[in-house]
Chain A
């Protein structure tokens, strides 16, 4: 047993559901108790999704405990098959159902006989893998399911083309990143064969082998699929993360040489392109050179997040902006070796943990001038008065911006430069304010704004007043006093406060 208040990566079934619901016309059925379908709320709220989340629950209740799910799961599958007509139904076990040890595969086999849809049991162990690992696995499982019966032969597209693996729902800025990747590939004259799994329909999966190359922009999800496709069809993949000027150009060079490998006649000057983009599309290189950024030299920062973003930011901060990274860390323990290898020599310390209190202690000890982390680090920063830029999930609704905010590619470098710069200047401004005694408006704010009166507040009503949220407190105070004046009341008690609320409400 572990005492826990907070976790960075969610439970396995969330990963499975994120993948399943990213495909088009794929339905997931969770084998779970009432209330475990919180995923639907997250998708509908965070992504502001307009469609019903294609996830339902086959509910585990007392009856199921007593007699097993028996017909229930099968019935629910058949029912969904008729109601929604999906191409594929993914039966998703949860932590609760996995300890019931029912033979879900058997239910799947039975249901398959009577459904139009294909049915698949997500193969994830809830006590061994987390959300990200499960997502990686489920993606591979679905792709493999549809390609297994195919021959290993493939017909490549005539023109160079690629698949983007690992764009899916509730991913950190995935939509924007995907658009930016498309833009770049379009510039290079490379076709996009498939984007997997976001928006992909099942019948298109078989075309996956047409691509020349697979790219995996995020380390966490997509690698398994890329490896599988390499083994089955020999499709090479590029897993360099195209975030930051240096890594984006590395990514492009690899892409270029892979295409040349397969088509010696490919005639595109990648160096020219990189030079142009770096100079004219991305402002980050010039920005780092500009006099403003000199002040960032030697500033101290801490980076924590998923592997993709923590590694990328550590590289950007140190190699592109001259900022010292005191500690780089990640919560993806399962991929710790790769993380260490990547940030080795770029930071003073490496922290690999899933425990946010350890991160908090590290930040307190090192006192950086800025943090780049998840929402949790943002809150730690708030408490310690250290500014924080959010660079990785777990995230809140404000990390699903409507405006175009990619992290990858050349526009990504602009966004990142802004994010980094703004985090530090805000910190600087705060610091200067501190030194020079703060904004001079302080006195005015604390001054009582309501006119002097002889109305007094009883201790209990004063106490009640302090419980009212700060931003409306003054208004309530004024309204209550006005009510008291109008009714010739000299002492405000709790009763007077409530009466004032009732009387003054319609305004």
Chain B
């Protein structure tokens, strides 16, 4: 059995979503925002197909579609963008426009960061620039670029506030309001009040930040935001595992309590109460093996939770691993493996899907967590799969939602139990 976690790095030939997909959940979270993706037909086509029905609900995002004349600089970028932004302001009246820079704006070196402050004054509307492009980032990292751009817009605390009070606590990461309410409640039980969320429901409601502010992330892909918070706003980062699964949630709360010098209360009871509720699902997946192909950066936390549930993890593919930001999570993973007395999984950064599929054929895992481009072909080869994107859109944080994660994980197993009895059918599927 391996003693320490091992890290490998492959070719980076893997399927994932383009990071501009973050507009899908962020425009819903920040209710007074408008996202303008400055890119080509390719970006637009991706968004329209990936977001499915959302596209028909008059979303608060649009493409600024670059045409040949924009690429060859026959048109003036600034004038063109201003025309579009004025139209957005007139039609939608948002509190902020967020420009999403794409691969194309990178390559033609469109100076979005330079133009934004000038235009902002001219059209009297905040403009935030985030470069969420496929040259640099994968899928959920798009949210990271947007949040780290928003950090700059958070107000400084006023002097009177900072003097007498105990330190602020601000949580960062975008989750549906239901989940943020749940996490707020969880901390309230420990006597901790949260001073704000980044992002909140409204752009006008960004949290105050200063050197007395403790910040803590709730998602593993927010390393850039964490760095911006520390370096630009001098905030104190609480490096905790992420509140995914009851074990993660407990460790997350404990770490926050520790940082704020608070003794956690009834946490163990709370955790075991939740585990009791999960027994039936854990029974289903116990000793079953799982293989993460990797595409959304939630993999380490999910793997750690599944090991604790009794699963064997063969491989954790992950697009990018910030070992500093995820250090507490990686520690918890190691400890969990020891506690459960199971082999340490191999962690593969920038995986190569082709090689992974070879390994899957060799290892024959009971479940492969993968993207939608590979799920059906794997199923047709008799390998159970679960779409990884669902973990990004489902509510998976905190004690309350632990069951939802297992609901997703066990779904293929439960489905197969139901249809397995029909042997004659099975014969034709495979």
Measured CA separation A498–B177 after assembly (Å)? 13
**CB proximity to A under 8 Å, residues B205-232:** none
> In the assembled complex, how far is the CB of residue B24 from the closest CB belonging to chain A, in whole angstroms?
13
Q: Which of B153-161, B165-173, B191-199, B370-378 contacts the other chain?
A: B370-378
Q: What are the residues of chain B within 8 A of A501 when measuring CB–CB?
A: 400
> In the assembled complex, how far is the CB of residue B1 from the closest CB belonging to chain A, in whole angstroms?
33
Residue in B closest to A59 when the chains form the complex, CB atoms: B12
B104 at the interface (CB under 8 A from A): yes
A503 at the interface (CB under 8 A from B): yes
- The answer on a CB contact under 8 Å between A49 and B376 is yes
Q: What are the residues of chain A within 8 A of B106 when measuring CB–CB?
A: 65
Cross-interface CB contact of B377 among A50, A76, A128, A379, cutoff 8 Å: A50
- The answer on a CB contact under 8 Å between B63 and A61 is no
Q: What are the residues of chain B within 8 A of A158 when measuring CB–CB?
A: none
B242 at the interface (CB under 8 A from A): no
Measured CA separation A127–B69 after assembly (Å)? 9
A35 at the interface (CB under 8 A from B): yes
Query: When each residue 38-53 of chain A gets 1 if its CB lies under 8 Å from chain B and 0 otherwise, what string results?
Result: 1011111100111111
Cross-interface CB contact of A96 among B16, B107, B279, cutoff 8 Å: B107
**CB proximity to B under 8 Å, residues A3-61:** 3-7, 10-11, 13-14, 32-38, 40-45, 48-53, 56-57, 59-61
- The answer on a CB contact under 8 Å between B45 and A7 is yes
A464 at the interface (CB under 8 A from B): yes
> In the assembled complex, how far is the CB of residue B70 from the closest CB belonging to chain A, in whole angstroms?
6
Measured CA separation A126–B107 after assembly (Å)? 15
B394 at the interface (CB under 8 A from A): no
- The answer on a CB contact under 8 Å between B373 and A53 is yes
- The answer on a CB contact under 8 Å between A52 and B44 is no
Interface positions of B (Cβ within 8 A of A): 12-13, 15-19, 38, 40-42, 44-46, 48-50, 52, 55-56, 59, 62-68, 70-71, 75, 80-81, 83-84, 87-88, 103-104, 106-108, 133-139, 177-178, 181-182, 185, 273-274, 277, 279-280, 354, 357, 371-377, 380, 399-400, 403
A203 at the interface (CB under 8 A from B): no
* Chain A-chain B contacts (Cβ-Cβ < 8 Å), number: 180
Measured CA separation A35–B59 after assembly (Å)? 22
**CB proximity to B under 8 Å, residues A93-141:** 94-96, 99-100, 126-128, 130
Q: What are the residues of chain A within 8 A of B400 when measuring CB–CB?
A: 498, 501-502
Given A49-B376, A62-B135, A503-B277, 12 extra CB contacts under 8 A:
A3-B65, A5-B59, A7-B41, A13-B42, A34-B137, A44-B375, A50-B376, A60-B103, A95-B104, A495-B185, A498-B181, A498-B182
A1 at the interface (CB under 8 A from B): yes
Closest 9 CB pairs of A and B: A35-B18, A33-B134, A40-B373, A50-B380, A127-B68, A1-B80, A11-B41, A379-B56, A35-B134
Q: What are the residues of chain B within 8 A of A40 when measuring CB–CB?
A: 15, 373-374
Provided the pairs A38-B50, A62-B135 are in contact, do residues A3 and B104 lie with their beta carbons within 8 angstroms? no
Q: What are the residues of chain A within 8 A of B280 when measuring CB–CB?
A: 506
- The answer on a CB contact under 8 Å between B68 and A65 is no
- The answer on a CB contact under 8 Å between A34 and B63 is no
Measured CA separation A3–B148 after assembly (Å)? 26
Q: What are the residues of chain A within 8 A of B181 when measuring CB–CB?
A: 464, 494, 498
**Could you show 25 A-B contacts with beta carbons less than 8 Å apart?**
A1-B83, A3-B88, A5-B62, A5-B63, A11-B45, A14-B45, A33-B135, A34-B134, A34-B135, A35-B134, A35-B138, A35-B139, A36-B46, A37-B15, A51-B380, A52-B377, A53-B373, A53-B377, A83-B354, A95-B41, A127-B67, A128-B68, A495-B185, A498-B400, A502-B399
Measured CA separation A95–B67 after assembly (Å)? 10
Q: What are the residues of chain A within 8 A of B403 when measuring CB–CB?
A: 502, 505-506
> In the assembled complex, how far is the CB of residue A144 from the closest CB belonging to chain B, in whole angstroms?
26
Measured CA separation A13–B43 after assembly (Å)? 12
Measured CA separation A43–B403 after assembly (Å)? 32
- The answer on a CB contact under 8 Å between B42 and A2 is no
Provided the pairs A44-B374, A464-B181 are in contact, do residues A96 and B15 lie with their beta carbons within 8 angstroms? no
Q: What are the residues of chain A within 8 A of B137 when measuring CB–CB?
A: 34
Measured CA separation A192–B62 after assembly (Å)? 47
A204 at the interface (CB under 8 A from B): no
Cross-interface CB contact of B67 among A1, A14, A53, A376, cutoff 8 Å: A1
A442 at the interface (CB under 8 A from B): no
A467 at the interface (CB under 8 A from B): yes
- The answer on a CB contact under 8 Å between B40 and A95 is yes
Residue in A closest to B373 when the chains form the complex, CB atoms: A40
Interface positions of A (Cβ within 8 A of B): 1-7, 10-11, 13-14, 32-38, 40-45, 48-53, 56-57, 59-62, 65, 76, 83, 94-96, 99-100, 126-128, 130, 376, 379, 382, 396, 464, 467, 494-495, 498, 501-503, 505-506
Cross-interface CB contact of A48 among B49, B62, B66, B376, cutoff 8 Å: B376
Residue in A closest to B12 when the chains form the complex, CB atoms: A59
Residue in A closest to B41 when the chains form the complex, CB atoms: A11
Q: What are the residues of chain B within 8 A of A127 when measuring CB–CB?
A: 67-68, 71
Q: What are the residues of chain A within 8 A of B377 when measuring CB–CB?
A: 44, 49-53
Residue in A closest to B61 when the chains form the complex, CB atoms: A5
Q: What are the residues of chain A within 8 A of B63 when measuring CB–CB?
A: 2-5
Measured CA separation A382–B58 after assembly (Å)? 13
Interface centre among B52, B371, B373 (most CB of A within 10 A): B373
> In the assembled complex, how far is the CB of residue A395 from the closest CB belonging to chain B, in whole angstroms?
11
- The answer on a CB contact under 8 Å between A506 and B18 is no
Q: What are the residues of chain B within 8 A of A37 when measuring CB–CB?
A: 15, 373
Q: What are the residues of chain B within 8 A of A126 when measuring CB–CB?
A: 40-42
Measured CA separation A266–B46 after assembly (Å)? 51
Q: What are the residues of chain B within 8 A of A36 when measuring CB–CB?
A: 18, 42, 46, 134
Measured CA separation A368–B34 after assembly (Å)? 33
- The answer on a CB contact under 8 Å between A99 and B65 is no
> In the assembled complex, how far is the CB of residue B380 from the closest CB belonging to chain A, in whole angstroms?
4
> In the assembled complex, how far is the CB of residue A263 from the closest CB belonging to chain B, in whole angstroms?
44
Cross-interface CB contact of B12 among A1, A61, A83, A96, cutoff 8 Å: A61
Q: What are the residues of chain A within 8 A of B49 when measuring CB–CB?
A: 38, 41-42
Measured CA separation A40–B48 after assembly (Å)? 15
- The answer on a CB contact under 8 Å between A498 and B185 is yes
Residue in A closest to B88 when the chains form the complex, CB atoms: A3
Measured CA separation A396–B51 after assembly (Å)? 12
Residue in A closest to B403 when the chains form the complex, CB atoms: A505
Provided the pairs A35-B16, A127-B68 are in contact, do residues A52 and B139 lie with their beta carbons within 8 angstroms? no
Residue in A closest to B19 when the chains form the complex, CB atoms: A35
Measured CA separation A39–B136 after assembly (Å)? 20
Q: What are the residues of chain B within 8 A of A10 when measuring CB–CB?
A: 41, 45
Q: What are the residues of chain A within 8 A of B108 when measuring CB–CB?
A: 99
- The answer on a CB contact under 8 Å between B18 and A38 is yes
Measured CA separation A14–B45 after assembly (Å)? 10
Q: What are the residues of chain B within 8 A of A464 when measuring CB–CB?
A: 178, 181
Residue in B closest to A39 when the chains form the complex, CB atoms: B373
Residue in B closest to A463 when the chains form the complex, CB atoms: B177
Residue in A closest to B55 when the chains form the complex, CB atoms: A6
Measured CA separation A14–B41 after assembly (Å)? 11
